[in-house]
Chain A
Amino acid sequence: MHFINRETIQKQTKKRMAVNHLLKTLFFAATMFSLLVLAVLFYRIFTQGFEHLSFDFLTNFASRKPEEAGIKAALYGTIWLMAITGPISIVLGIGSAIYLEMYAKQSRFTRFIQTNISNLAGVPSIVFGLLGLTVFVRMLEMGRSVLAGGLTMSLLILPIIVVAAQEAIRAVPQELQEASYGMGATKWQTIWRVVLPAALPGMMTGSILALSRAVGETAPLIVIGALSYVAFVPDSIWSGFTVMPIQIYNWTGRPQEAFHDIAAAGIIVLLALLILMNSIAVFIRNKFSKRH
């Protein structure tokens, strides 16, 4: 007795293949849709902003006259902000990840910390802005400085870096660590010589992606009081500052049409910076992952 009837199967096969084909088309369309939207966006921004893009645009300060307006203050502000946020968040983030993954004993306390870190990664950025305003600007009396902005941004991306670094550490094969301990290495020697070299690409990729998120953030900086009209480059960590997204937002809010085109030029610069940072992340990942 056969349970499988060849004839019915033959009939059914046609139908099943049709469904298969239909779904494939559907999923392809979904992918194409988002690509198309992206392409339209790029096209609009480039046609609008390209003619304003020049070397002067990068070296001029903001101005009331559209033809003289430039992004220098915002570009330098963003670079200053990164120079503060980067080292602080990466050192604290990787340090916490090493502690949590390599040293901390499993306990209710470490589980509590772990849950909180994951939750913090999902907290809206404006909340971090309020925290920065209360703690850095007011309590620690840093004022509306680039230092206060950088510290606020560090807090914002810290949980992302911690989680990325933890995942990178967890991906290091346990057998390699055992080999190291088995020869009498201490925990730190094992971390330094085995865990970190293997986890570093993942850590760097995560950190750069987190930093590029910080480059695009506006809300927390508006809350702590980054300036919107700036005609100077920060000269110390106590300087006032602006960053590119704020400058772009400011330009799009102007009534004159010409400023909208300048905003588009600013977006091109911001996108170029983000693409550059993401490419570095991809490069690091590809270069080091080949070793394994």
Chain B
Amino acid sequence: MNTLMKSKPLNQNPIQPKQEHKKTVIEVNRLNLWYGEDQALKDIHMNIPENKATAIIGPSGCGKSTFIKTLNRMVELIPTVKITGNIFYREKNILDPKYRVEELRTRVGMVFQKPNPFPKSIYENVAYGPKIHGIKKKKILDEIVEKSLRDAAIWNEVKDRLHENAYGLSGGQQQRLCIARCLAIEPDVILMDEPTSALDPISTLKVEELVKKLKENYSIIIVTHNMQQAARISDQTAFFLNGELVEMDHTSKVFSNPRDKRTEDYITGRFG
């Protein structure tokens, strides 16, 4: 792994779209991942552009959730995981054991499948991240909380009940609160692991609107089961199958004119 780290990031990947002078925020290189003996990710190469929404689609068990959790090394919470290859975030290899995960995760934030607010007040939920990173002044925390809640388009709904328990919010509101909580640490990249799969259609719509707005300032990688959702909100789409990256291109191209037969079969609903 050390020798791989020193080698220059590889760019000559046949299935990558031409990056028209767009900056790459994350570059994945020869990534392999095993759970014990089972290989969950096979030789993944991928460039993730800055300030775009990248959707990851594929059938259940294809490795898309594993992949996104590798990008902030949350996957390491599973004890049997083995990873080889490189992932460069802003030119630094995050799989280097010397790269501190605590730092990585303040730059690469995450929103989970099931809304998971803490059993604390709305205010404390959003202030959690800044607090663990050492911000103590109430005035600054107040400002962060308001800004994050505004950016997550939930401020107007909760501004009068900031000190009430977050469990009193609806599922959709809880998920937007979780997005606000993620924004409070001012990340650069936001990973979203099927963020709307537990939500009703109206809440889903609100989260989608939010993603479209957020991608102006953040690089977003969103795993989704819902192909219409991928088509609606993403700029690029990657199709995973059995742990392999089958195809990645501009979303419009993937959905209208896929290069690979397997992608076509999947998006036309012939399997998965």
With contacts A173-B116, A175-B114, A198-B119 taken as known, whether A183 is within 8 angstroms of B72 at the C-beta atoms is no
A291–B124 CA distance with the chains assembled, in angstroms: 15
Q: Does A186 contact B (CB under 8 A)?
A: yes
Instruction: Determine the chain A residues whose CB is within 8 A of the CB of B132 once the complex forms.
Output: 180, 183-186, 189, 193
Question: Inside 8 A of A183's CB, which chain B residues have their CB?
Answer: 105-106, 109, 128-129, 132, 181-182, 185
Q: Are A179 and B118 in contact (CB under 8 A)?
A: yes
Using CB atoms and an 8 Å cutoff, list the residues of chain A in contact with chain B: 105-106, 173, 175-176, 178-186, 189, 193-194, 197-198, 291-292
Min C-beta distance of B61 to chain A, whole Å? 20
In the assembled complex, the Cα of A198 lies from the Cα of B119 at a distance in Å of: 8
Q: What residue in chain A is nearest B110 (Cβ atoms)? A: A182
Chain B 112-147 interface mask (CB, 8 Å, partner A; 1/0): 101011110000000011001100000000000000
Q: Let me know if B165 is at the binding interface, CB within 8 A.
A: yes
Residues of B159-177 whose CB lies within 8 A of A = 165, 167
The contact sample of 25 A-B pairs, CB cut-off 8 A, is: A105-B79, A173-B116, A175-B114, A175-B116, A178-B74, A178-B112, A179-B112, A179-B117, A181-B77, A181-B105, A182-B72, A182-B110, A182-B112, A183-B129, A183-B132, A183-B181, A184-B102, A184-B105, A184-B106, A184-B129, A184-B133, A193-B132, A194-B118, A198-B119, A292-B119
* Closest Cβ–Cβ distance, residue B184 to chain A (whole Å): 8
- How many residues in B have their beta carbons less than 8 Å from beta carbons of A? 28
Q: Which residues of B line the A interface, CB within 8 A?
A: 72, 74, 77, 79, 101-106, 109-110, 112, 114, 116-119, 128-129, 132-133, 165, 167, 178, 181-182, 185
Central interface residue in A181, A189, A194, by most chain B CB within 10 Å: A181
* CB contact between A184 and one of B112, B118, B185 (< 8 Å): that residue: B185
Please provide the 6 A-B residue pairs with the shortest distance between their CB atoms, ordered closest to farther. A175-B116, A184-B105, A184-B106, A182-B110, A183-B129, A184-B102
Looking at the assembled complex, report how far the CB atom of B168 sits from the nearest CB atom of chain A, in whole angstroms. Answer: 11
Report how far A291 CA is from B121 CA in the complex, Å.
Answer: 11
Contact partner, B74, options A106, A182, A185, Cβ 8 Å: A182
Q: Are A184's CB and B74's CB within 8 A?
A: no
- Contact in complex: A179, B79 (CB < 8 Å): no
Name the CB-closest residue of A to B184. Answer: A183
How near does chain B come to A193, taking the closest CB pair, in angstroms? 7
Tell me the nearest residue of chain B to A107, going by C-beta: B79
Q: A178-B74, A183-B128 are in contact. List 10 more A-B contacts (CB 8 A).
A: A106-B79, A173-B116, A178-B116, A179-B117, A183-B132, A183-B185, A184-B129, A194-B118, A292-B119, A292-B167
Chain B residues near A179: list those with CB within 8 A. Answer: 112, 116-118, 178, 181
Which residue on B lies nearest to A288, using beta carbons? B119
Q: CA separation between A194 and B124, bound complex, in Å?
A: 12
- CB contacts (< 8 Å) of A184 on chain B: these are 101-106, 129, 132-133, 185
Q: In chain B, what residue has the closest Cβ to A192?
A: B132
**Separation in Å of the A178 CB from the closest CB of chain B?**
6
Bound-complex Cα distance A182 to B190 (A): 11
Contact: A176 with B118, CB < 8 Å?
Answer: yes
| Nearest residue, chain A, Cβ from B105 | A184
